[in-house]
Structure 1
Amino acid sequence: MTEYEMEPVPGLPGLLPKGETIIWQGAPNWRVLARTAFHTGTVAAYFAALTVFALGAALWRGVEAPSDLAGVAITIGGMIVGLALLHLLAWAVARSTIYTLTDRRVVLRFGVALPKCINLPLGIIGNVDLRQRANGTGDLAIKLNSEQRLGYAALWPHARAWHYVEPQPMMRAVPDVDAVATLLARACLSIQTDGRVVPIEAAARRAQAEEQAVAA
């Protein structure tokens, strides 16, 4: 029996305190997670380029027997195995992850081999950046006002890319992310009454500018 099977409330480290209510629970879409967190598209393109190079080299030398295409076969085999492993890892990560939003906190429960649970009180959330995709999924990156820092390695892959100095927890590949973002905004505003909601277009431009600045 695993730790998750013994949870009194799935996705939470214990029973809800009196008066606290679960607003939403969800998990990443594993196919989207494979593309965005494990970069299966980039890996596939890399191996495709290697395959073209290996095939070109074989044709340049001259193909007289099937063994002359051994390099091409090895490259294709490596691509299949590599992509299969990445998709399996994405599936395992998504299966072991539950994101929970209550009227007091955000809880990230994740970990394939080493289960962990991270509580983020709504009162320390300084900003939430939304990244939407055409298929309705998206990411919610959470910037904290707390002086306590979370480790990037401890959060990964549920961490915003390139933010190593001040890691930001991220709910990745969330289905129907627009609705979830609305629920999260309302929950935060109920705690932080002086907060405000920035239009999606403006928030997206700001998030893009921040990522470019961090990458530079």
Structure 2
Amino acid sequence: MSHDDFAFEPVKGLPETPPEGERILWQGRPDAWALALESMNLKWVMGYFVLLAAWRLVAAIDLMPFAQAVAISTPFIVMGLIVCALLAIVAWVQARATVYTITNRRVAMRVGAALTVTLNLPYTQIANANLDLRRRGTGTIALELMGETRFSYLVLWPHVRPWHLRNPEPALRCIPDAERVAGILAEAAETRVAEPQVARADAPVAGVAAE
């Protein structure tokens, strides 16, 4: 029997039912393979082990037969494959546990495999959004926040703009069809920010006595 780890959510990816007037415009999650390549640096990790194997081969080739030198270099390749497989599994688990949500009022990010947190980012707190588009159509949309809103880089990782450690920017990482999603986000944010905000005045109007 299948089990939904997030069955407690009233709406997928959100900790509570959206208020009246809020509409979900898009939901998605990272592409697991793209996440492995970009956030886990899969190519660089494998390249490192290949370099170790090549160095071992070159160092040993003058001391023993070629076949034996290859044999003692191969374990580095095997270790590299094992490490890359583990990183790919981590990326798959992270992608499966993640739900990005764009509504007409905010961006919500349910992230974290072991420790799940949900970030609610109203458009009024987002100063800018930056799209990093890749060749396969996947891309990352980083959200630059205004004011004193801050998040921990380690808590957000890998759902954060790479290398922005001082001012971490939450990011919709490695999402498919990123250019279209960025358009949805931009249109929703522009519409929301342009709406007039009406504040409720609880205090009595000057010159009118409260009964």
Question: TM-score, normalised on structure 1?
Answer: 0.84
User: 1:132/1:65 Cα in 2 relative to 1: closer, same or farther (>3 Å)?
Assistant: closer
Aligned to 2:189: 188
Identity %: 39
Aligned with 1:190: secondary structure? helix
Q: Distance in 2 between matches of 1:72 and 1:2?
A: 44
After superposition, the C-alpha distances for 1:169-189 in whole angstroms (9 at most, x for unaligned) are: 011111001110000000110
Query: Cα offset for 1:7?
Result: 1.2
Aligned to 1:76: 77
Aligned to 2:89: 88
Aligned to 1:118: 119
Q: CA RMSD in A?
A: 1.7
Aligned to 1:29: 31
Q: Distance in 1 between matches of 2:41 and 2:107?
A: 26
Q: Are 2:196 and 1:167 equivalent residues in the alignment?
A: no
After superposition, the C-alpha distances for 1:57-93 in whole angstroms (9 at most, x for unaligned) are: 2212113875x65531321121111010011111111
Aligned with 1:4: secondary structure? coil
* Alignment length (residue pairs): 193
Letter paired with 2:31? N
Aligned with 1:60: secondary structure? coil
Aligned with 2:35: secondary structure? helix
Query: Cα offset for 1:3?
Result: 4.9
After superposition, the C-alpha distances for 1:18-52 in whole angstroms (9 at most, x for unaligned) are: 11100000010010111110000111111111111
Q: Distance in 2 between matches of 1:15 and 1:112?
A: 22
Aligned to 1:130: 131
Which structure has greater helix proportion? 1
Query: Cα offset for 1:5?
Result: 2.4
Letter paired with 2:109? L
Name whichever of 56-65 and 25-34 sits farther off: 56-65
Aligned to 2:198: none
Letter paired with 1:143? E
Aligned to 1:13: 15
Query: Cα offset for 1:53?
Result: 1.0
Q: Distance in 2 between matches of 1:64 and 1:25?
A: 54
Aligned with 2:79: secondary structure? helix
Q: Distance in 1 between matches of 2:120 and 2:67?
A: 61
Aligned with 1:25: secondary structure? strand
Aligned with 2:14: secondary structure? coil
Aligned to 2:177: 176
- Consecutive unaligned residues of structure 1, counting only runs of 5 or more, are 195-216
Query: Cα offset for 1:148?
Result: 2.3
After superposition, the C-alpha distances for 1:151-175 in whole angstroms (9 at most, x for unaligned) are: 1111111111121111100111110
User: 1:60/1:182 Cα in 2 relative to 1: closer, same or farther (>3 Å)?
Assistant: same
Q: Distance in 1 between matches of 2:58 and 2:44?
A: 21
Aligned to 2:63: 61
Q: Give 1:94-105 correspondences, 5 Å limit.
A: 94-105=95-106
Query: Cα offset for 1:2?
Result: 6.2
Aligned to 2:41: 39
Question: TM-score, normalised on structure 2?
Answer: 0.86
Q: Distance in 2 between matches of 1:151 and 1:50?
A: 34
Aligned with 1:129: secondary structure? strand
Q: Which has the larger radius of gyration?
A: 2
